[in-house]
Chains A and B, each alone.
Chain A
Amino acid sequence: AQSVTQLDSHVSVSEGTPVLLRCNYSSSYSPSLFWYVQHPNKGLQLLLKYTSAATLVKGINGFEAEFKKSETSFHLTKPSAHMSDAAEYFCVVRGNAGKSTFGDGTTLTVKP
């Protein structure tokens, strides 16, 4: 069985300040982990993925995430938030059978 917990349903930051979106996972084997972003009325766009290679993963638009097996975490970070980053973010765990489990999402608000 696998599960994902996004620890914050809403995060609010000021433009130019760091972003931290937290994700913990549970899996009985080594999973693949992904972060997706969804802008209003749009589909999901892949930000980055972890598939058992480097534990620090760099994605698009300046985002990165670090896989920490001991903490079962895969937190998403960005050094400096931009207004265009305002969206909903989903952490996803994908198991060997190819089934994806999504977190409940974190809404990021960026204040000017």
Chain B
Amino acid sequence: KAGVTQTPRYLIKTRGQQVTLSCSPISGHRSVSWYQQTPGQGLQFLFEYFSETQRNKGNFPGRFSGRQFSNSRSEMNVSTLELGDSALYLCASSLDVTSVSSYNEQFFGPGTRLTVL
């Protein structure tokens, strides 16, 4: 079974631009979460999508947005990029079939390394 895939793996943008990152979950997984990882802030939760609906949201500004398609693939968008948005963006998927969502482990993709100049 293929793992979580993220594209592109590396991106270089300049301040003020916008960027779209893509995540394809493991086949059959319906939940997709996004995280930002930086040396200073560690791993921070951005948002989670389940069945095309945003189910959870972290404490990030509105410049960060996402969506999920009917095939569970997800995209996240960052508008008006700032230098501080440089980070590794990780996507994780989970099966989420139990009634207790906390039981479902997340499987992570390799990440997209975004550099903002």
B111: interface (CB < 8 Å): yes
Please tell me if A46 contacts chain B, counting CB pairs below 8 Å. Answer: yes
Segment from A14-22, A29-37, A65-73, A76-84 that makes contact with B: A29-37
Contact indicator per residue, chain B 71-93, by CB within 8 Å of chain A (1) or not (0): 00000000000000000001010
Complex partner residue of A43 from B100, B104, B111, CB under 8 angstroms: B111
Q: How far is the CB of B40 from the nearest CB of chain A, in Å? A: 11
Chain A residues within 8 Å of B111, by CB: 43
Contacts of A42 in B (CB 8 A): 110
User: Contacts A42-B110, A43-B110 known; A104 to B42 CB distance under 8 Å?
Assistant: yes
Query: If A51-B102, A98-B101, A99-B56 touch, does A45 touch B108 (CB 8 Å cutoff)?
Result: yes
Asked if A96 meets B102 with Cβ closer than 8 Å, knowing A43-B90, A44-B90, A102-B42, the reply is yes
**Complex Cα–Cα for A98 and B92 (A):** 12
Indicate if A58 sits at the interface (CB-CB under 8 A): no
List B residues at the A interface (Cβ < 8 Å): 4, 31, 33, 35, 42-45, 48, 50, 55-56, 90, 92, 94, 96, 100-111
Q: What are 22 A-B interface contacts by the 8 Å CB criterion? A: A32-B100, A32-B102, A34-B105, A44-B90, A46-B106, A49-B105, A51-B102, A94-B102, A96-B100, A96-B101, A96-B102, A97-B56, A98-B48, A98-B94, A98-B101, A99-B48, A100-B33, A100-B45, A102-B35, A102-B44, A103-B42, A105-B42
Q: Enumerate chain A interface residues (CB-CB to B < 8 A).
A: 31-32, 34, 36, 42-46, 49, 51, 90, 94-105
